[in-house]
């Protein structure tokens, strides 16, 4: 038990060190870096709200358009950032693995904690502003909402980690992965709800786990809205499978990294 505790303490210090390193890399030492960290996740919300206002379209459900897009864009960005953060995690971490205390999983945990924490701070500030203007009052189930957001970034991380393994053997896969992510944006519910789609379209899109998570997030966030589309176990199954494949693949590629001299 003592050895286990000491091991966890060492891993905790390693993860904390990586979080500090990633903060300096991402935000820099200027206020501009922190401003961009706040503005970037919200830019998609404002852009979509502007487009819908120009074409005189309202929210598909009976909520303010700024809240509707918030519950679509934030889960989507957690997923896409999870993909992006994991896409190069194996190659970028390889030089550090000469130190016995450091493992790729430490880098993975640090990146996900920093990204999720940043998104939560930005989301809280955004909702606070909307509350001040009387647009937002409260959400229905805060614990469920946060849980779904965690699942979003884990799904993206699993997808990105599997991609990172594939890219070691097939470098051109990165272009294919980028295409998949772009297509997923348009079919994952960021600017629509699944229940308003034709039955045949819903049957096809049912296989998209990101759409399940966004529908689930809106059901947890809004009073009076309960999607009939999502199945909570379906995206969780994807997360477990992708996580297993990604971590197993990372372990299997260590010899490949040595061959490449990385």
pLDDT tens string 133-165: 999 988 999 999 999 999 999 999 999 999 999
The reported pLDDT for the residue numbered 153 is 98
| % the chain with pLDDT above 70 | 91
3-state secondary structure of 223: coil
Look at the pTM and tell me if it is higher than 0.85.
yes
Find the mean pLDDT for residues 195-202: 94
Find the mean pLDDT for residues 39-53: 83
The reported pLDDT for the residue numbered 29 is 66
pLDDT tens string 71-110: 999 999 999 999 999 998 887 777 776 777 778 888 999 9
CA atoms within 13 A on the CB side of 34: 4
The reported pLDDT for the residue numbered 96 is 73
Mean pLDDT (the chain, rounded): 88
Find the mean pLDDT for residues 170-191: 94
Question: Which stretch of 29-43, 71-85, 215-229 has the lowest confidence by average pLDDT?
Answer: 29-43
Residue 243 pLDDT grade (very low, low, confident, very high; cuts 50, 70, 90): very high
The answer for 139, left when phi > 0, alpha when psi is -120 to 50, beta otherwise, is beta
Among the listed residues 156, 149, 162, 88, the one whose alpha carbon sits nearest the alpha carbon of residue 119: 149
| b/e 179-197 (16+ beta carbons within 10 angstroms → b) | eebeebbeebbbbbbbeeb
Among the listed residues 137, 152, 126, the one whose alpha carbon sits nearest the alpha carbon of residue 70: 126
Residue 40 pLDDT grade (very low, low, confident, very high; cuts 50, 70, 90): confident
User: What residue spans define the domains of the chain?
Assistant: 2-260
The reported pLDDT for the residue numbered 49 is 85
Instruction: Please provide the distance, in angstroms rounded to a whole number, between the alpha carbons at the two ends of the chain.
Output: 35
Q: How many CB atoms lie within 10 A of CB 40?
A: 13
């Amino acid at each position: 038990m003592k050895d286990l505790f000491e091991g966890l303490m060492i891993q905790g210090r390693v993860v904390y060190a990586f979080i500090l390193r990633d903060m300096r890399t991402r935000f820099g030492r200027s206020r501009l870096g922190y401003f961009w960290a706040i503005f970037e996740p919200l830019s998609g919300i404002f852009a979509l709200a502007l487009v819908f206002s120009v074409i005189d379209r309202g929210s598909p459900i009976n909520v303010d358009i700024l809240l509707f897009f918030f519950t679509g864009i934030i889960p989507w960005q957690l997923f896409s950032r999870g993909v992006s953060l994991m896409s190069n995690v194996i190659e970028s971490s390889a030089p550090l693995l000469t130190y016995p205390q450091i493992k790729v999983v430490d880098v993975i945990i640090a990146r996900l904690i920093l990204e999720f924490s940043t998104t939560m701070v930005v989301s809280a500030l955004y909702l606070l502003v909307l509350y001040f203007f009387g647009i937002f009052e409260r959400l229905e189930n805060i614990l469920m909402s946060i849980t779904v957001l965690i699942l979003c970034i884990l799904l993206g991380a699993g997808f990105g980690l599997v991609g990172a393994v594939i890219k070691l053997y097939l470098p051109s896969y990165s272009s294919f992965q980028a295409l998949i992510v772009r297509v997923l944006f348009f079919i994952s519910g960021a600017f629509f709800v699944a229940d308003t789609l034709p039955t045949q379209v819903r049957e096809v899109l049912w296989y998209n786990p990101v759409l399940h998570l966004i529908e689930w997030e809106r059901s947890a966030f809004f009073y009076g809205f309960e999607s009939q589309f999502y199945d909570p176990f379906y995206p969780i199954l994807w997360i477990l499978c992708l996580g297993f494949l990604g971590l197993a693949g990372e372990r299997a590629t260590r010899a490949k990294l040595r061959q490449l001299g990385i």
